[in-house]
Copies of this chain bind each other. A is one copy, B any other.
Amino acid sequence: MVGIKNIGVYIPEERISNLEKLEKFDTTEDFISNKIGIEKVSLKLPDEDVSEMCVKAFEHLNSKQTIEKQNIKACILITQNPESNIPHSSALLHDKLDLPQDCACFDISLGCSGYVYGLSVLKSFMQSNDISEALLFTCDPYSKIMDYEDKNTSLLFGDAATATHLVTENPNFDIEKFTFGTFGKESHNLTAGINGSKLAMNGRGIFNFVIRNIPKNIKKLCELNGINENDIDAFVFHQGSKFLIDTLVKRMKVDPNKMKFSAKDYGNTVSSSIPILLEELEIEKHKTIAISGFGVGLSWSSTILKVN
């Protein structure tokens, strides 16, 4: 059974303070700290790109338990802001990490739902191809496509990368069944790179979509996995904004201690938000964790992690 062994995280040290932008964006400290909940966004170094950031996340992972690189037979990188169109950034990462030649590498283009999809794709791929160790990376540096004059996006998104080690033997988390969804008709709510365009977001459209769909998606997830929603002791959800998480807590009638917003000091890191939170989790305090990613596409995916 494929599961998660460890997670490595890289959040760049550099920060942009949102509290210094109150006047520029005609906003208030209350809005920044209590509504969007993001006081600073993380910013990669100017000369850093996706593969370097993933290497730093890998180094953190490797500091927890040495990865035997020759055993890694698959490496997936989730990004919509790769270093180039051609080649895929996972090939550059393959070079930098000196992974073996019989390692399958590819990028998956997904946003905030990408980590959960990536877990399913990599778990399936490992099972089907008899692979015992693999790596899943996330890295979507929105600073590359940010319009820093745009209040809707520049106060929200931070840069980060994560590296997750998937194994068949002695994982710390088992990965249960998944739900998936796409609503392409609403994809215009978050766009970038159309003839070189910067990031543009209709936050209201995405917010409404999430509030309408994710609570019922989690009910479906529980049915699929034969568990009761009350059995879930942590809801590790994509960190869109504090207001989004607060609203989901209310709509789903969840104990707020079970579903937290923790991105105050670095922002919404797209596909890295869920693994960053998982890595921070005190796993000995948990048994059954629901993870859910939602956003760009619009796209969503959820699963249950069982702590071993």
Contact at A91–B297, with CB atoms within 8 Å? Answer: yes
- Residue in B closest to A270 when the chains form the complex, CB atoms: B86
Instruction: Say yes or no: A105-B296 contact (C-beta < 8 A), given A129-B180, A192-B84, A194-B83.
Output: no
B193→A86 contact, CB < 8 A: yes
- Of all chain B residues, the one with the shortest Cβ separation from A177 is B129
**Cα of A87 to Cα of B200 in the assembled complex, Å:** 11
Task: Check if A92 is an interface residue, CB within 8 A of chain B.
Answer: yes
CB proximity of A296 to chain B, nearest CB, Å: 5
Q: Would you call the interface of chain A mostly helix, strand, loop, or mixed?
A: mixed
Tell me if A268 counts as interface (CB < 8 A to partner B): no
Contact of A182 among B84, B104, B197 (CB under 8 A): B104
Total copies of the chain = 2
As a 0/1 sequence over residues 57 to 80 of chain A, the CB contacts with chain B under 8 angstroms (1 = contact) are 000000000000000011100001
Contacting chain B: which of A120-128, A244-252, A254-262? A120-128
Comparing A106-114, A230-238, A280-288, the segment that makes contact with chain B is: A106-114
- Does A24 sit within 8 A of B, measured CB to CB? no
Closest to A188 in B: B87
Residues of B contacting A184 with CB < 8 Å? Answer: 87, 91-96, 99, 105
Within 8 Å of chain B (Cβ to Cβ): is A294? no
On chain B, the residues within 8 Å of A197 by CB distance are: 84
Query: Is B94 a contact partner of A181 (Cβ separation < 8 A)?
Result: no
As a 0/1 sequence over residues 284 to 308 of chain A, the CB contacts with chain B under 8 angstroms (1 = contact) are 0000000000001111010000000
Tell me the nearest residue of chain B to A102, going by C-beta.
Answer: B181
**Smallest CB–CB gap between A2 and chain B, Å?**
9
Q: Does A183 contact B (CB under 8 A)?
A: yes
Chain B residue nearest to A182 (CB atoms) is: B105
Residue in contact with A191 in the complex, picked from B87, B96, B103, CB distance below 8 Å: B87
Asked whether A91 lies within 8 Å of B299 as measured between CB atoms, the reply is yes
Residue pair B180, A102 in contact (C-beta under 8 Å) = yes
Decide: A129 and B125 in contact? CB cutoff 8 A.
Answer: no
Cross-chain contact of A88 among B102, B105, B110 (Cβ < 8 A): B110
Most chain B CB atoms below 10 A, which of A85, A91, A107, A129: A85
A45 part of interface (Cβ distance < 8 Å): no
Contacts of A114 in B (CB 8 A): 106
Residue of B nearest to A130 (CB): B177
Q: Can you identify 20 A-B contacts, CB atoms within 8 angstroms?
A: A73-B180, A81-B85, A82-B109, A84-B192, A85-B193, A87-B299, A88-B299, A91-B182, A91-B298, A92-B184, A94-B297, A101-B183, A102-B179, A102-B180, A103-B182, A104-B180, A105-B182, A105-B184, A120-B128, A123-B128
CB-based closest 5 A-B pairs: A85-B193, A95-B184, A94-B184, A124-B128, A104-B180
